[in-house]
Structure 1
Amino acid sequence: MAGVFSLRIGSRLAGSTPSASATKGGGSGRGRPTGSRALVSKKPYKEHHLWIRKDSAGSGKKALRLVNTVSKLPNEKEAVYGALDRWTAFETEFPIIAAAKALEMLKKRRQWLRIIQVAKWLMSKGQALTWTTYDTLLLALFMDGRIDEAESIWNNIIQTHTRSVPKKLFSRMILIYDIHDRSDKVLEVVSNFYILTIS
């Protein structure tokens, strides 16, 4: 009898202990130890730049509105500058992205005089032009027959940005001088290019 009694008590005790699978986190999870932690996968933090969205939001519409406005104006500096001033009158930040897009639109429409006027207005406002807009301005001056002004802008670029002028602008000026049979100026631009790249 004692053997049977001890066998029953042993089987009850064995049934009351948690199984190995339960302690390791298997099954339904009821037998999980109180000190265990569940691994939670965290999503990577994504940084939001609200000012980038603010600058780029609606810039295409602003650019198109500017292009349509200046295209209807007479070829007078005062009229164009006045319209450009009104275009920025209620802006909290200067719409430089929209202005750059407007220059690209004017380039596609081949409105060279308007490009010159808008670019010079940007300069008068102290807004630095990108290399793309500088290239567009040089092209517009060339197409409008204003080679002396293109040369003046180019010399200012070389003196101000001694080491960062892209090859595209050198190529633009070489082409301009070559078309106008200014071989001396072509050699000057080429020598400046080699000096800047070597230094």
Structure 2
Amino acid sequence: MVFISLPHFVARAMLLVSLCCYVYEGSWERYCCCYCYLLKVILFIIQITMWKPMLMAKLVRQFSHLQPVRAQPVFYIHSQTTVTKTGEDIYLGGPISKRQIGENVSRNEKVNFLVRILNELNDDSKESVYNALDAWVAWEKDFPIGRLRQALVGLEKEQQWHRIIHVIKWMLSKGQGTTIGTYGQLVRALDMDHRVEEAHEVWVKKLAVDLHSVPWQLCHQMISVYYRNNMMERVIKLFKGLEAFDRKPRDKKIVKKVGDAYEILGLVEEKERVLEKYKSLFNETSSSKRPTRTSKKKSKG
């Protein structure tokens, strides 16, 4: 197709040269100069037209084998960006993928790892504990509420009350663990960390609003907190609130603490009233011991 149209191109080029010579007053020198340039252009076009298919074929053969080589670095870069090192990687001795962390690390190992991290923190601030918890939970698909509760038990054994408070508050900030048991655990940790007013605030805002359903165990715990910190007015107020819902104490220790609170405040009559009202708790305790003694005698006989 190129060689068929080439004569037409040359004829048109010669006509263009003739017109140029006519415009420049038919100078023979100008005619020769234009004709030489025209021949160079024609030869260049012919060379490109003839050699272009051969050059393209040669380039394709040379660079066709580079395609898989180019794809390999791209895949490698992607794999490097999707695998990052976390604290668990260091604990396990090498980088592993996100999927493998959930499969290869046991529940107890994760709990022990978190407890060890929290115990080894040099800074006991809120930010340090929160950052450690965020890094620990980053690989989890679901919020590990069960493992966190196990970690809290481990921290309680080591009496790390300050860090227990941070862990519970971090958990609550994530909208997790908003149960009566969690708030009761927070109250106990605050009390053991000598932050009684904060414990009182948590009790009033989160637990005291449902005195009709709060377990007696937590009520006894809060009465003990008030009693131990010489807050006798609060002991009596809490006990009266429970009586208003017709809730009767199940342990004589509660009655004794309430009676002592009345006595310290100079309300001896109220103390006698409470002891008289719940004297059955003291009688039940003494009567429960008697059958055991008689049973021992019968067994001996």
Shared fold (TM-score, shorter chain, > 0.5): yes
Mapping for residues 25-64 of structure 1, pairs under 5 Å? 58-64=106-112
Counterpart in the other structure of 1:78: 127
The answer (yes or no) to whether the contact 1:115–1:140 under 8 Å persists in 2 is: yes
1:162 Cα deviation (Å)? 5.0
2:203 to 151, 154, 159: 154
RMSD: 2.1
Structure 2 distance, partners of 1:190, 1:107, is: 28
Call closer, same or farther: CA 1:153–1:59 in 2, change over 3 Å.
farther
Report the more deviating stretch, 75-84 or 158-167: 158-167
Counterpart in the other structure of 1:5: none
Call closer, same or farther: CA 1:160–1:188 in 2, change over 3 Å.
closer
Call closer, same or farther: CA 1:120–1:181 in 2, change over 3 Å.
same
- 1:135-177 deviations in Å (ceiling 9; x for gaps): 3221211111101110011012235545431111111110010
- 1:7-28 deviations in Å (ceiling 9; x for gaps): xxxxxxxxxxxxxxxxxxxxxx
Call closer, same or farther: CA 1:159–1:176 in 2, change over 3 Å.
closer
Q: State the secondary structure of the residue aligned to 2:163.
A: helix
Structure 2 distance, partners of 1:182, 1:70, is: 33
Counterpart in the other structure of 1:193: 242
Structure 2 distance, partners of 1:134, 1:64, is: 23
2:232 to 183, 188, 192: 183
Call closer, same or farther: CA 1:187–1:82 in 2, change over 3 Å.
same
The one-letter code of the counterpart of 1:67 is: V
Report the more deviating stretch, 113-122 or 133-142: 133-142
Please say which structure displays the higher CA radius of gyration. Answer: 2
- 1:54-105 deviations in Å (ceiling 9; x for gaps): 9xx9433322211111111111111110010011101110000001111111
TM superposition score normalised by structure 1: 0.65
Call closer, same or farther: CA 1:129–1:160 in 2, change over 3 Å.
same
The one-letter code of the counterpart of 1:60 is: N
Mapping for residues 1-199 of structure 1, pairs under 5 Å? 58-73=106-121, 74-158=123-207, 161=210, 163-197=212-246
The one-letter code of the counterpart of 1:180 is: N
* Unaligned runs of at least 5 residues, structure 1: 1-53
Q: State the secondary structure of the residue aligned to 2:166.
A: helix
Call closer, same or farther: CA 1:111–1:156 in 2, change over 3 Å.
same
Structure 2 distance, partners of 1:152, 1:66, is: 29
TM superposition score normalised by structure 2: 0.44
Aligned identity (percent) is 37
How many residue pairs get matched?
A: 143
Q: Which has the higher helix share?
A: 2
Q: State the secondary structure of the residue aligned to 1:171.
A: helix
Structure 2 distance, partners of 1:68, 1:196, is: 45
* Unaligned runs of at least 5 residues, structure 2: 1-101, 248-301
Structure 1 distance, partners of 2:151, 2:178, is: 13
The one-letter code of the counterpart of 2:234 is: K
